[in-house]
């Protein structure tokens, strides 16, 4: 859920719109969203917190950014669609003993931070992972509310972002105080690196969260303009947008080529990959009998549908096609590490 104003924390945000409330036009919504995106750093919204080492302790198993100032909430970078573990521990009060059993779930975010930016060039907005815990007697006000701040990137973008920040921090440590050029990190000014992101304890519990429950066919239906309060005639209906799982895109080139070409795999299966290779490189797809992937570590793996669907989207490869004695072909996708993609 968008952070922090759009996270649904406040009681003034509701999915049920009163007919007497004022509706905003699409232009005013875009203007307000852009203004919020530009002013987020200058005027961050401060969420009241409780500093308590006891009680419920939630942790997102992903490292935090070292480029966020301590006066701002910690930031965790995650990849869209990738599952991350969230663990719950209960640290009992010595005066109120209670059995502590660690609980773990896996979550995946199916949107991007840039989905909430209405202008190109505007950085993606931070989002919140929020967990409300209720006791059995009161389902109106949570017993505990915790949250952590995240930014969601395209495939493996979070890994590249963290790698870039780590390299930058290492470079600053090597340079030390002798180089005064550029921005210098002051000791204690930014959050220290950590492999886990602890949830903050939210102080306000009485403001209900606005929950969105989509029907099964939500992304195949038109949105009702009357429920949104502005005209959607100039917007592309979601029925025209393909499901993320309906296609994959790979970047490939042959060994003797310098420029990569997009390879659209529809459907995202070995059959779809063979058809895409055949159409792009003039090969009879029915004669492609072997599809392999050579990983960056050197291992060659025979691909299957699950591997293709979950682990190669938007990756970069050199394509090797070899002819067999029986007239068939074998295609090998050789993974190109990110540091060699611009010069490979």
Domains, the chain, in order of start with CATH, read 5-238 (no CATH), 244-340 (3.10.20)
CB 312 within 8 A of CB 305: no
DSSP secondary structure letter of residue 193: P
pLDDT value at position 40? Answer: 47
Q: How far apart are CA 333 and CA 327, in angstroms?
A: 20
3-class state of residue 162 by DSSP: helix
pLDDT value at position 248? Answer: 87
Question: Which residue, 263, 269, 267, is CA-closest to 321?
Answer: 263
Phi, psi of 334 (to 5 degrees): -95, 115
Q: How far apart are CA 239 and CA 223, in angstroms?
A: 10
pLDDT value at position 298? Answer: 86
CB 265 within 8 A of CB 276: yes
Q: Which residues of 220-239 are buried (b: 16+ CB within 10 A; e: fewer)?
A: eeeeeeeeeeeeeeeeeeee
Q: How far apart are CA 291 and CA 294, in angstroms?
A: 10
| pTM given for the model | 0.42
SS3 content of the chain, % helix, strand, coil (to 5): 25, 25, 50
pLDDT value at position 53? Answer: 75
With 0-12 / 13-18 / 19 or more C-beta atoms within 10 angstroms meaning exposed / middle / buried, residue 132 is middle
CB 277 within 8 A of CB 263: yes
pLDDT value at position 100? Answer: 61
Q: How far apart are CA 90 and CA 190, in angstroms?
A: 28
Q: How far apart are CA 88 and CA 111, in angstroms?
A: 24
CB 155 within 8 A of CB 32: no
3-class state of residue 187 by DSSP: coil
pLDDT value at position 8? Answer: 40
Residues with Cβ within 8 Å of 56's Cβ and at least 6 positions away in sequence, in order, are 88, 89, 90, 133, 144, 146, 201
CB 109 within 8 A of CB 90: no
CB 260 within 8 A of CB 252: yes
Cα angle 147, 148, 153; round to 5: 135
- Partnered with residue 300 across adjacent β-strands are 294
Intervals of the chain under pLDDT 70 = 1-45, 96-101, 119-122, 176-188, 212-245, 339-344
Cα angle 149, 151, 249; round to 5: 155
Question: Which residue, 62, 143, 71, 69, is CA-closest to 107?
Answer: 62
Q: How far apart are CA 80 and CA 245, in angstroms?
A: 13
């Amino acid at each position: 859920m968008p952070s922090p104003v759009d996270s649904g924390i406040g009681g003034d945000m509701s999915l049920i719109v009163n007919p007497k409330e004022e509706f905003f036009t699409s232009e005013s919504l875009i203007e307000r969203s852009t203004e919020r995106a530009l002013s987020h750093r200058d005027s961050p919204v401060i969420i009241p917190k409780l500093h308590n080492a006891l009680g419920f302790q939630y942790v997102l198993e992903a490292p935090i950014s070292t480029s966020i100032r301590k006066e701002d909430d910690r930031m965790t970078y995650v990849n869209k669609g990738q599952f991350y573990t969230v663990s719950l521990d209960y640290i009992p009060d010595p005066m109120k003993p209670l059995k502590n059993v660690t609980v773990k779930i896996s979550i995946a975010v199916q949107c991007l931070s840039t989905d909430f930016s209405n202008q190109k060039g505007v950085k993606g907005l931070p989002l919140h992972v929020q967990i409300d815990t209720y006791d059995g007697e009161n389902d109106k006000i949570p017993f505990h509310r915790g949250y952590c701040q995240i930014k969601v990137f395209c495939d493996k973008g979070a890994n590249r972002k963290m790698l870039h920040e780590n390299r930058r921090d290492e470079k600053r440590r090597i340079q030390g105080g002798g180089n005064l050029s550029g921005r210098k990190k002051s000791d204690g000014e930014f959050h220290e690196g950590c492999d886990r992101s602890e949830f903050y304890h939210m102080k306000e519990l009485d403001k209900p969260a606005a929950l969105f429950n989509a029907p099964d066919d939500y992304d195949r239906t038109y949105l009702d303009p009357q429920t949104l309060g502005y005209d959607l005639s100039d917007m592309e209906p979601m029925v025209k947008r393909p499901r993320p799982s309906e296609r994959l895109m790979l970047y490939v080139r042959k060994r003797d080529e310098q420029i990569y070409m997009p390879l659209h795999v529809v459907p995202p299966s070995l059959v779809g990959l063979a058809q895409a290779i055949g159409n792009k490189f003039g090969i009879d797809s029915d004669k492609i009998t072997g599809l392999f992937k050579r990983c960056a570590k050197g291992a060659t793996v025979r691909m299957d549908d699950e591997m293709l669907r979950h682990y190669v989207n938007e990756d970069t490869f050199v394509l090797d096609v070899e002819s067999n004695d029986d007239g068939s072909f074998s295609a090998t996708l050789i993974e190109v590490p990110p540091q060699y993609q611009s010069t490979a």
